[in-house]
Amino acid sequence: MDSHFFYIHLHKKLLILKIMFKLIACTNKKRAIGDKGKLLYSIKEDLINFKRMTLGNVVIMGRKTFESLPGGKPLPGRINIILTTDEEYGVEPNDDVFITNSIQDVVDLCEALFPDKEWFVIGGESIYKQFLDANLVDEMRLTIVDDDKDGDTYFPMFDNNQWAVYYETLTQKIDSISFIFEILKKK
């Protein structure tokens, strides 16, 4: 259960659970993540890594990200949570898909039904920003492409002083794309 932190104040016998999420994104030097409803990059090795990390766990995404998934279907082998402000939004019934309307709904759902899983926020731009702004993120797993291509969606700015690089690969080059993978942990 490395996705959670427990704080215990023994004098008052109070247990406070602070839920923490992980962000996963593939971005570039300009922080671009997508363009016209599609990922900016489709790197086979990155997609394999994404699947390996998230399989059997919970993925949280916005409505647009969900609709951009292959075939508009949930990611198999994972619990898919859609966060949307559209209270009328619906999808084809599926035991592995939940629709929520607020970050608090996501927190409550994860805490109640999936305390034994890791919780990954997978996009898009506004969803990443909401979780970062709510201080609910303790780890970011980023693939960073050595490129300065523009997009129409971007990974949000964050205070580098609050994060430490926990792990970083050497530069990898696949076809004409160079990238690194890094894990940042909250200080």
Q: Per-residue pLDDT tens for 85-125?
A: 999 999 998 999 999 999 999 999 999 999 999 999 999 99
pLDDT of residue 5 exceeding 90: no
Query: Per-domain residue ranges for the chain?
Result: 19-186
| More confidently predicted of 4 and 116 | 116
Phi-psi label, residue 139: left if phi above 0, alpha if psi -120 to 50, beta otherwise: beta
Q: Select the CATH number that applies to the domain covering 19-186 from these four: 3.40.430.10, 3.40.630.10, 3.40.50.2300, 3.30.1330.10.
A: 3.40.430.10
pLDDT tens-place string over residues 137-185: 999 999 999 999 999 999 999 999 999 999 999 999 998 999 999 999 9
The pTM score is: 0.89
Is the link from the previous residue into 124 a cis peptide, with omega within 30 of 0? yes
Decide if 84 contacts 126 (C-beta within 8 A). Answer: no
Chain mean pLDDT for the chain: 91
Among residues of the chain, what percentage have pLDDT more than 90?
A: 87
User: Alpha-carbon distance 128 to 30, whole Å?
Assistant: 16
Q: What is the DSSP letter of 169?
A: P
pLDDT tens profile 56-78 = 999 999 999 999 999 889 999 99
Mean predicted confidence (pLDDT) in 43-64: 97
Average pLDDT for 17-45 = 92
> Which two three-digit tokens encode residue 40?
């900016």
Distance CA 182, CA 144 (A): 8
E-state strands within the chain: 4-9, 14-19, 21-28, 32-35, 38-39, 58-62, 79-83, 97-100, 119-123, 137-145, 153-154, 163-168, 172-174, 177-186
Question: 183: burial class by Cβ within 10 Å (0-12, 13-18, 19+)?
Answer: middle
Distances (CA, A) of 39 to 86, 109, 139: 23, 27, 21
pLDDT over threshold 50, residue 4:
no
**pLDDT at position 129 over 70:** yes
Would you put residue 123 in left (φ > 0), alpha (ψ -120 to 50) or beta?
left
